[in-house]
């Protein structure tokens, strides 16, 4: 029996309009009625996630959890409690900046309630509008911001990022988690700051076995979570590399793939065929 369901947002729980469909919302409410742990796992900040999934009313559900910044933190929503956190520091930012800027890229540096940007940055992520509105710029190779950093993000052309990712020196992969959270987003975080590791720590905290966990995802940053879960489910719209690592492939995010799998494997019936 599954006792925890973890879900990515963009491309997974969200449809093409970045909304939770009525079918997905109803399925999650069914999970709540069954007292199942619900985990929203995203590259976004905790506050941004909670705002975007306000329909789920997780702040009033005592088995609601958030994995934020692609696995850098895991927190309980009621009452708010950080269960797991792995951050990098100012030295790491300066080191990453030396590499990133040598390839001509700019950076977003996510700290606690603050985002710092490279000088002369042109492309800015729309994640967490409140933080972006108060963001400040600085020379990142001489970074002097907060020493507790959740992640470094690069927003740029997909082909350019793919080329860059393939040319990152091996020592960086030995020291950091480096994954794409979308085709145009590449992120650096603590080596143990992944969705899979955060989910494992959360499961340990809740005394759950891997086989009691179901997880959904569609992007590269979801692979570790799908591999850890007893039942890792890739969306029909997921990248092929993600589908290859999943145990099951459901329908796409625009076809209520999350709801379909929840009905099949937890509720015990089927909707829309599967």
Distances (CA, A) of 223 to 29, 241, 244: 26, 8, 9
Separation CA 178–CA 194 (nearest Å): 9
The side-by-side arrangement of strands in the sheet containing 114-118 is: 136-138, 114-118, 108-111, 149-155, 185-190, 176-182
Separation CA 184–CA 228 (nearest Å): 25
Q: Which residues are catalytic?
A: 8
Separation CA 78–CA 198 (nearest Å): 18
Distances (CA, A) of 61 to 67, 107, 155, 267: 16, 36, 34, 19
**Token pair belonging to 256:** 């209520």
């Amino acid at each position: 029996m599954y006792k925890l369901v973890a879900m990515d947002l963009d491309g997974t729980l969200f449809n093409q309009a970045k909304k939770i469909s009525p079918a997905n919302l109803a399925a999650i409410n069914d999970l709540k009625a069954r007292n199942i742990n619900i985990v929203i796992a995203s590259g976004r900040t905790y506050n941004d996630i909670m705002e975007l999934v306000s329909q789920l009313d997780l702040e009033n559900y005592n088995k609601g959890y958030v994995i934020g910044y692609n696995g850098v933190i895991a927190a309980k929503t009621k009452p708010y409690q950080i269960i797991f956190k792995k951050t990098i520091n100012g030295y790491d930012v300066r080191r990453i900046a030396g590499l990133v800027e040598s390839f001509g890229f700019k950076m977003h540096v996510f700290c606690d309630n603050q985002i710092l940007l490279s000088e002369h940055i042109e492309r800015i992520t729309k994640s967490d509008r409140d933080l972006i509105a108060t963001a400040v710029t600085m020379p990142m190779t001489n970074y002097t911001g907060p020493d507790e950093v959740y992640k470094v993000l690069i927003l740029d052309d997909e082909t350019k990022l793919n080329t860059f990712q393939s040319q990152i020196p091996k020592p960086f992969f030995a020291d950091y988690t480096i994954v794409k959270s979308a085709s145009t987003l590449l992120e650096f975080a603590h080596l143990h700051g992944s969705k899979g590791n955060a989910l494992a720590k959360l499961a340990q905290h809740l005394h759950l076995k891997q086989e009691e966990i179901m997880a959904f995802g569609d992007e590269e940053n979801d692979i570790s979570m799908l591999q850890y879960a007893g039942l890792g489910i890739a969306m029909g719209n997921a990248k092929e590399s993600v589908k290859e690592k999943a145990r099951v492939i459901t329908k796409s995010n625009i076809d209520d793939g999350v709801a379909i799998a929840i009905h099949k494997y937890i509720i015990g019936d089927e909707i829309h065929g599967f």
